[in-house]
Amino acid sequence: MSTLNYVPTTKGGMMLYNRGHLYQKLKPNKDGTQAWRCKKYRDNNNKCLALCYTKNESAITMTGSHHHPEVHKSEVVFCHVQNEIKNKARNSTGPLKQIIDSTISKAIRENGVDIEQAAIYTPTYRASQKHLYKLRKENLPSLPKETSEINFEEEYLIIAFASDIQLQILSQSKRWHIDGTFKAAPLLYKQLYQIHAWDFEEMHACVFIFLLSKTEEIYIKMIDFLISASSSLGFILKPDTVVSDFESAAKNAFSKKFPEAEIKGCHFHFTQAIWKNIRSIGLTNDFNNKREISEWLNYFKSLPFVPIDQIPTVLKEIKNVIPNISQDKLLEFLNYFERTWINHFVFTPLLWNHFKTKGPRTNNHVEGFNHNINNYIDNNHPHVYSAINTLKCLETTVSLNYFKRKNGEITQVPRRPKDIQRNEMLRYLKNKMLKQNLSFISYMKRISELFRFDKDHTQIKIRAPVTKERDETLKSQPSLSIFKIRKQSFNFIKSKFNAFVYYNGQAYETDHYPVLYKWYMSNVVTLKTTADGNFLYHAISTSISGNENLWKDIKLGMIFMFFE
């Protein structure tokens, strides 16, 4: 006798798998045996009368014989797979398609199932989704049809979620980042609003709030509720800085409830708004193809890094160097910028200036967290109880990570090298400008290269390859045709009088005048042994001789070269 092997059915029952065949359960006999009938009993073409009897979890006897092949291994495997998919759909909040795909893929990989055979038995998302959604809702209370059915006395129907640990983190942090997401907001609610705290050099999600609208009134009510809940636990909320997008209602609410806090606008949203206007005016093509226009427009992206009291002076200098081409459109953009970001009674320079900002200047951390939330949920505006289960999971993760960081069990998340280098260069340029060793326009030009509007390709006009014995005749050589190469495939080198691009092992002289020049020390060392390498290294060393700060940067592995 052998141990029995059961296989789940699509209707929640069990089949017996014995000696390569599947049997369906019949009524038990009076002597305590259990009868099982071959699954093919109802097959019109090959009706099978084979029976199997079991007792005490063992197969004891069989009657009749099978007149059909044994069931394929894939059929047995995917009976278990379908049952696993149902359990996951019922007990988790993840997207159903992801559950189906990952479960099937894992089963095929672990059981060595042939793909062609698996295709016969695998369930599809389209065929399964309706049933799986029904299973998922069985464990959840029914939803109200309209807001009047929600049993709350308060007018605003705010539902907020935060653990004691999260409120403690929020009270300890002096820097908050706020944002809302609409996709994850449950039915009947407008948005899922979040407050994140910056602590231990990392962002922590502290409060999740379901809101019915985006008015200043509801934000004030939300903050009052949050202050009261924190106070009842002995926590005092007193942020020094609140970073948000440029939503006026939220900005006004936080300004009123935390009058001593500095409200800052997200730098990314600021630049996106500028770029949106550039596109709407019709300057995209000029921006991509005319260097003087792109350089001038990029100045405006750099204004947040100018001392706030110097913005009028710098803006006047920018006006003085407006390009002579496409001036009507450029003046239209200038009018937009002054109207929206200089003279506007809400979006004043105090809101978007980041010259003294320490810490994140954007809400990109929060936007990334929103993306993670959207990966958790199954569809837009999920079932409210499903959304709550998701927030519970996120709260556990946030609290665990916070204490691991606090106890030193995990180190700080490494920052991207380019972000570190950009901030170091920003600090270097600020100091140079404050010491009056750099004009405002030169400062703006160099800052703009750190925060450029992205372009997929850069156009470079090149001349013949540069040799070690270059002379004045080089400048008279005809230019080669303009071609496009990706940013990552070349490095810029700038000597005192000429600009070069190093590409595919060759150095080329170029009319392109980039302000930011990057060079990795490892490449420079390698190139020392070649003619081009010697030339390029010579160009670097002669141009920055005597500048100890830049030589220090070389030793760190990255060189940023700026030349007057």
Residues 329-337 have a mean pLDDT of 94
Predicted pLDDT at 150 = 57
DSSP 8-state code for residue 242: E
What is the rounded distance in angstroms from the CA atom of residue 195 to the CA atom of residue 557? 38
| Structural domains of the chain ordered from first start | 5-63 (2.20.25.240), 73-138 (no CATH), 159-266+362-401 (3.30.420.10), 278-361+414-455 (no CATH), 457-560 (no CATH)
**Which stretches does DSSP call E strand in 168-232?**
175-181, 191-199, 202-211
Three-state secondary structure call for residue 457: strand
Count of C-beta atoms within a 10 Å radius of residue 557:
11
Q: Express as a percent the part of the chain with pLDDT over 70.
A: 73
**Which stretches does DSSP call E strand in 212-257?**
241-244
Q: Express as a percent the part of the chain with pLDDT over 90.
A: 26
Which of 304, 313, 217 lies closest to 267 in space, CA to CA? Answer: 304
Predicted pLDDT at 33 = 87
Q: In the predicted model, is pLDDT for residue 398 greater than 60?
A: yes
Q: In the predicted model, is pLDDT for residue 26 greater than 70?
A: yes
Count of C-beta atoms within a 10 Å radius of residue 223:
19
For the stretch 453-470, pLDDT in tens is 544 333 333 333 444 343
Q: Higher-confidence residue: 391 or 196?
A: 196
The overall average pLDDT reported for the chain is: 74
Count of C-beta atoms within a 10 Å radius of residue 16:
21
Give residue 525's identity as a one-letter amino acid code. V
Confidence of residue 264 (pLDDT cuts 50, 70, 90): very high
Three-state secondary structure call for residue 102: helix
CA distances from 539 to 231, 404, 493, 500, 529 (A): 63, 49, 8, 10, 15
**Is 43 exposed, middle or buried, given 0-12, 13-18 or 19+ CB atoms closer than 10 A?**
exposed
What is the rounded distance in angstroms from the CA atom of residue 353 to the CA atom of residue 333? 19
Confidence of residue 495 (pLDDT cuts 50, 70, 90): very low
For the stretch 353-386, pLDDT in tens is 999 988 899 998 888 888 878 777 767 778 777 7
Rounded to 10°, the helix 327-337/267-281 angle is 140
For residues 545 and 498, is the Cβ–Cβ distance under 8 A?
Answer: no
What is the rounded distance in angstroms from the CA atom of residue 284 to the CA atom of residue 276? 10
Predicted pLDDT at 480 = 29
For the stretch 42-93, pLDDT in tens is 777 778 888 888 887 777 788 888 878 888 878 888 888 888 888 887 777 6
For residues 206 and 167, is the Cβ–Cβ distance under 8 A?
Answer: yes
Which residues have CB under 8 Å from 293's CB, separation 6+?
283, 286, 287, 323, 325, 326, 330
241-244 and 175-181 as β-strands: parallel, antiparallel, unpaired? parallel
Residues 133-144 have a mean pLDDT of 68
Q: Hey, what are 35's tokens?
A: 């009868």
* pTM attached to this predicted model: 0.62
Residue 524 backbone phi and psi in degrees, to 5: -60, -45
Contacts of 539-542 with CB under 8 Å at 24 or more apart are 539/493, 539/494, 539/495, 539/500, 540/493, 542/495, 542/496
Residue 137 backbone phi and psi in degrees, to 5: -75, -20
User: What are 559's strand-pairing partners?
Assistant: 519
Q: Higher-confidence residue: 191 or 379?
A: 191
Which of 305, 314, 277, 323 lies closest to 450 in space, CA to CA? Answer: 305
Which region among 212-216, 384-388, 494-498, 559-563 has the lowest average model confidence (pLDDT)?
559-563
For the stretch 238-251, pLDDT in tens is 999 999 999 999 99
Q: Hey, what are 170's tokens?
A: 């929020």
Confidence of residue 234 (pLDDT cuts 50, 70, 90): very high
Count of C-beta atoms within a 10 Å radius of residue 443:
21
Q: In the predicted model, is pLDDT for residue 177 greater than 90?
A: yes
Predicted pLDDT at 482 = 28
Which of 510, 435, 522 lies closest to 474 in space, CA to CA? Answer: 510
Q: Hey, what are 279's tokens?
A: 């596109």
Which string of b and e fits 78-113 if b means at least 16 CB within 10 Å? bbebbbbbbebbeebbbbbeebbeebbeebbeeeeb
DSSP 8-state code for residue 156: S
Name the one residue in this structure whose structure tokens are 């073409």. 45
Confidence of residue 472 (pLDDT cuts 50, 70, 90): very low
Give residue 549's identity as a one-letter amino acid code. N
Q: Hey, what are 62's tokens?
A: 């069989």
Which residues have CB under 8 Å from 319's CB, separation 6+?
334
Which region among 181-195, 345-359, 381-395, 515-529 has the lowest average model confidence (pLDDT)?
515-529
Predicted pLDDT at 307 = 93
Residues 210-239 have a mean pLDDT of 93
What is the rounded distance in angstroms from the CA atom of residue 294 to the CA atom of residue 300? 11
Predicted pLDDT at 375 = 72
For residues 515 and 445, is the Cβ–Cβ distance under 8 A?
Answer: yes
Q: Hey, what are 82's tokens?
A: 């379908």
- Give just the sign of the alpha carbon dihedral 18, 24, 25, 31: negative
Q: Hey, what are 358's tokens?
A: 């320490």
**Is 197 exposed, middle or buried, given 0-12, 13-18 or 19+ CB atoms closer than 10 A?**
buried
CA distances from 532 to 479, 493, 518, 555 (A): 20, 12, 17, 21
The region, left, alpha or beta by phi > 0 then psi within -120 to 50, assigned to residue 88 is: alpha
Three-state secondary structure call for residue 177: strand
Provide the greatest CA pair distance for the chain. Answer: 109
